[in-house]
Each structure stands twice: as C-alpha cells, then as structure tokens.
Structure 1
C-alpha cells in the first residue's frame, strides 16, 4: 500500500533530505529553487525535473537571471513507496539525480553513478 503523507509533511521530508546531502554536493548550487508539485502537467512518469541551463552550458550568467528549478513531484513518490524509509530513499535519489542535471550530468552518467 502506498505511503500517505500530506503536502506539508512531504515538504518537511524533502527539506530534511536536502539538508542531509553532502555539503560538497550543495555548495555549487546557486540561483536555484526547489519546488514541490503534486504531479507533472504532462503524462510523463517522473519523480522530478530539472528546469534550467546546466553549468556546462552557461555562458554569461548572473544578475537578473530567473532561478533554475528542481521540481519534485509528490504523488509519484507516494505511489512508489510502501514505507516512510522507502519514501525518504526515493526523495534522496531524486534530489541527487536532479542536482546532477544542474551540474551537467546526463541520464547515462547518472545511471553509471547509481543516481538514477
């Protein structure tokens, strides 16, 4: 049976998992917003999405730029987890995966690293 967790509790869980990530993974993040939505607007089967220009593709980047976004989709996470620990693990994997995209890692490389 999937985990049931209200939106505010899911947000706290995401914040806790983000805070628990290694500092060296987070120190390069700049001008990025972490957002939680219930599910993707399209019919894709996604846990998360990176929206922005990754570090390897940026030219002149700075003042006045809108923040990139890492979006986590709550309902797919809840549907995939049968325990709170499974949910935490999947949220952590999704965060690492999407942060990897921010740093310019493609899905193949993320799979090689075990982050996908």
Structure 2
C-alpha cells in the first residue's frame, strides 16, 4: 500500500466517522455534541495495560468519561468525555472479517458514543439500526 493509498483511507475513515455522528437520531446527536472524538492508530500502552489487553489490535474503540446516567449535579469539574477510535485495528478487523470499512467504523463509533449515555448493548444496536446507513 502506498502513502497515497493510506492518505485516501485516512480521509475515508474520518469522513465516515463524521457522517456517522451526523446521522445519529435526535436527541442523541444534540446530546453528544460535546463529546470529543479522537482518531488514533492504536491505544497507548497505559490504556492497554489498564484494560489488560495484550494485543493492540484487540481494541477498536474506547469511551473515557462519566456516562450521563452516572452524573450528579454535585460533580466537580472533570475532563471532557472522549471517544477514541483506533484506526489500524479497525482497518485490520474490516479486512479480516470482510465487513465494509464504513460498517465497522459506524458500529464502533455508535457503540462508543452509546457508552457516553450509559446505554446497554441492545439499545446501541437499536440506535445503529435506526441511524442512517453511511455509504
């Protein structure tokens, strides 16, 4: 794969993340506008160690923050909620499974944003089914 191929894949990846977030149904879209989405190649070593993950390809995404269902008006100021998407493991997963990259990015993005709301896996699946397909 050439550098130009990687640049095109990076642009496609970022565009898919943006389109996925834009396609979230209301009121979710409005409620997650303050969530920071970071795209990194891999999780850092501290994160992998904290989660007891040996292979960095095993972590596709991560939510860091306090989910809305766990917050209190008595909370002190905290860091912003963040969703981390790990680009290279997502590319690898899409290639290994034969799933379209757009579908994997969409699934991981919605899943991690769902953690911001404290949603169950079943609720996240329903949101994914309700949101517009990105292609």
Q: Where on the TM-score scale, by shorter chain, does this alignment land: which range?
A: 0.7 to 0.9
Q: Distance in 1 between matches of 2:17 and 2:75?
A: 27
TM-score (norm 2): 0.66
**Alignment match, 1:19:** 22
Q: Distance in 2 between matches of 1:89 and 1:33?
A: 21
**Alignment match, 2:107:** 93
Report the more deviating stretch, 94-103 or 26-35.
Answer: 26-35
Report the more deviating stretch, 51-60 or 75-84.
Answer: 75-84
Q: Distance in 2 between matches of 1:28 and 1:76?
A: 28
Root mean square deviation of aligned Cα: 3.0
In the TM superposition, what is the alpha-carbon distance from 1:69 to its structure 2 partner? 0.1
Higher helix share: 2
Instruction: Indicate conservation of the 8 Å contact 2:114/2:124, yes or no.
Output: no
Unaligned 5+ segments in structure 1 are: none
Matched residue of 1:50: which SS?
strand
1:9-88 aligned within 5 A: 9-41=12-44, 42=48, 43=54, 44=56, 45-60=58-73, 65-82=78-95, 86-88=100-102
Unaligned 5+ segments in structure 2 are: 49-53, 129-135
